[in-house]
Structure 1
Amino acid sequence: MIVKSKGIVLSYMKYGDTSIIARIFTEESGYGAYIVNSIRSQKSKKSIGYFQPFTILDLVLYVKETRDLQRISEFKSFYPLHHIHQDLVKSSITLFLTEVFSKLLQSEQSPNPELYKFAEESIKQFDLLDKGVSNFHLQFLLKIGPFLGYAIDDIDNLFSSTDKLVPSTENHEIMDALLKESYGYDFKMAREVKGILLDTILEYYQHHAHISKPKSLEVLRSVLH
């Protein structure tokens, strides 16, 4: 079956001599793995740069329900990103978020249009942000919860599920603001506080979604701090 869809690239790995397998969250088919043939060949007319993390593509897919690995027939840029891959802080946050997002999407094999719309709009806003950039990953992970069935609609829910962490009044207020404010919220906080808040969010998802600790976490910490 041929499916036309937008898709958000999360990662890719080399496959064979000239191809790749890309992990992509698509609007029409949900999360999946796709072969892109000959993209690493010297004769390829398309650049592998199309498959950088958080790139938003227009896709033509060959989808067969009995297969775990699908194929991409055609692709082109849907929305050019100008800053995410050039800025060190943004690119580090992107690598971290695409790793966590991939883990959270393991159960999203079927379409989730509302989640897709949220993710695409968030990426577009992130690319354009000029303030509050270092808070984006916290806000994204807080705001995405309801679309995945993990209702972080109240910060008390978040902290009550992580017994080891008892928030101070200040931390509670900061987290509540991060959840409710728009991207770009430029609240200055100490490095230790930001670390506590991120650990709390990750523990929440480790508890409810059973995800493992992100390998890119330490890289993110070293860049932001």
Structure 2
Amino acid sequence: MQVSTRALVFSSVKYAEADLIVSCFTEDYGLKSYLLRGIMKSKKGKLRASLFQPLTQLHLEAIHKDKGTLERIKEAKVLVPYTTLHTQVVKSSVVLFLAEMLKNSIQEEEANGDLFEYISVSLQWLDAHEAIANFHILFLLKLTAYLGIYPDTSGMEYPYFNLLEGNFEKEPLGDYSESGDAVDTLKRFFGINFDDLEGTKTTKKQRFEALNLLLSYYQLHLQGYKKPKSLLVLNQLFN
């Protein structure tokens, strides 16, 4: 079946001598993997390896057999040209980290237009702004809503955050109740938008602890979650 859809590149891995296996989150068909034969050597074809950088937004013409095997891309073109995401060191590191997190978090082969739109618009915001030190924290917190694991904020005034239950508590209940500066910092990201980030000041230590708290939350609530390899580089850059 020939399909036409918007897509976000999650990863591309070299296969054999000149092939790529590309993982994309498509707007209309969810997560799909494609085998691009000979693309690393091709200079005249319609497909170029440079199109498949992390979180590039593409329009695809593809062949889907929907048999659990690798699909085929006939044509791809950049839908949203970035000006900074793949050229600025800090932003490209954020993009690598988020691409890895998204690939770990989204496994469904089904359409989710709201999630696709959220990722697309967020990346355009990141591309256009410079006050981005806290972007990845807010992005991941907001992402939990689309993954169905957004924390219950009805007890936000309480000092303890129960990672397992996903709510705030007056007293610690169980082994997964956390309190302290990391929880206080994470609370500052609830109910704000990306445009509010410029006024959200955090120290290196606060960012580090809040992010680790959020990643622990992901680990508890997402089956098959893997700690992102790019986290170390990201922390080094922001520190």
Q: Which residue of structure 1 lines up, in the alignment, with residue 178 of structure 2?
A: 166
For normalisation by structure 1, the TM-score amounts to: 0.91
User: Deviation digits for residues 59-80 of structure 1, max 9, x if unmatched?
Assistant: 0111112133111111001010
- Name the CA shift for 1:143/1:17 in 2 (closer, same or farther; >3 Å): same
Distance in structure 2 (CA, Å) of the matches to 1:75 and 1:111: 19
Identity of aligned residues (%): 31
Whether 1:180 and 2:214 are equivalent positions in the alignment is no
Q: Which residue of structure 2 lines up, in the alignment, with residue 218 of structure 1?
A: 232
Amino acid aligned to 1:212: K
Whether 1:144 and 2:143 are equivalent positions in the alignment is yes
2:26–2:116 Cα contact (<8 Å) kept = yes
User: Deviation digits for residues 161-216 of structure 1, max 9, x if unmatched?
Assistant: 25456233x65453233232221402221211111100111011100103121111
Give the CA deviation at 1:160.
1.1
Give the CA deviation at 1:28.
0.8
Give the CA deviation at 1:153.
5.2
What stretches of structure 1 of length at least 5 have no aligned partner? none
Larger Rg: 2
Q: Which residue of structure 2 lines up, in the alignment, with residue 125 of structure 1?
A: 125
- Name the CA shift for 1:194/1:165 in 2 (closer, same or farther; >3 Å): farther
1:159–1:200 Cα contact (<8 Å) kept = no
Give the CA deviation at 1:12.
0.3
Distance in structure 1 (CA, Å) of the matches to 2:155 and 2:109: 30
2:98–2:136 Cα contact (<8 Å) kept = yes
Amino acid aligned to 2:83: H
1:89–1:134 Cα contact (<8 Å) kept = no
- Name the CA shift for 1:48/1:41 in 2 (closer, same or farther; >3 Å): same
Matches within 5 A, 1:10-29: 10-29=10-29
Q: Which residue of structure 2 lines up, in the alignment, with residue 189 of structure 1?
A: 202
Q: Counterpart of 1:66 in 2: which secondary structure? A: coil
Distance in structure 1 (CA, Å) of the matches to 2:161 and 2:90: 27
Give the CA deviation at 1:87.
0.9
Which sits farther off after the overlay, 174-183 or 9-18?
Answer: 174-183
2:9–2:55 Cα contact (<8 Å) kept = yes
